[in-house]
Amino acid sequence: MAVGTDRPVPVVEVRRAGRLFCRETDANFDGRVDITRFFDEQGRVRRVEDDYDFDGKVDVVALYREGEVTEDVLDTNFDGRTDTWRNYRGGRVATSMRDSNSDGVVDLWEDFDERGTLVRTRSDADGDGQPDAEDGGARPASADASSSATPASAADAMTQPPTTPAASADGGQP
């Protein structure tokens, strides 16, 4: 049931060759798919696409291996462009790269330990797409509370982070 209603959340399951291929969910009852989960041959999640702001565009794409999340891309400011790339280890975020100023270049790198605790942050203040020198760009984890991204939104498709301004093959689009 949907929270606060007596109605079940609309769900459509797509089967191929008798097995569950994907499940589409309309979480806000507007007639559009908000969450699509794709499954592997064993029935484990292999990919999830979410529309967090219910505008009809995918904001987060997460990839899974053997049912465990391995990476995701996000559009945290809902502008239609991927701005955050995260890699996971053991189901927890291991690294995160962000384009925090929407110029198409990664400018914030975060590293996490095996518990998921932020241990290092590096930034690119000079705009060259690379972390600045450790003494100028690295900050201890305790100084990073203000540098967290806005709540996850996502991307329309998986892309690698650009290495130079607007260098991604799809112009930065997820």
Six token digits for residue 4: 């606060």
The answer to whether residues 72 and 154 touch, using CB atoms and an 8 Å cutoff, is yes
Check residue 79 and give its pLDDT. 92
The torsion angles phi and psi of 141, rounded to 5 degrees, stand at -55, -35
The answer to whether residues 76 and 151 touch, using CB atoms and an 8 Å cutoff, is yes
Check residue 150 and give its pLDDT. 31
Contacting residues for 168 by C-beta, under 8 A, at least 6 apart: 104, 159, 160, 161, 162
The answer to whether residues 152 and 62 touch, using CB atoms and an 8 Å cutoff, is no
Check residue 161 and give its pLDDT. 54
Check residue 15 and give its pLDDT. 96
The answer to whether residues 70 and 63 touch, using CB atoms and an 8 Å cutoff, is yes
| CATH number attached to the domain at 11-147 | 3.90.930
Where do runs of H (alpha helix) occur along the chain? Answer: 134-137
pTM of the model: 0.72
Check residue 160 and give its pLDDT. 52
Check residue 144 and give its pLDDT. 39
Check residue 152 and give its pLDDT. 34
Ordered mean pLDDT values, 10 residues apiece, the chain (174 residues):
63 95 95 96 97 94 97 94 96 96 93 96 91 61 37 42 38 38
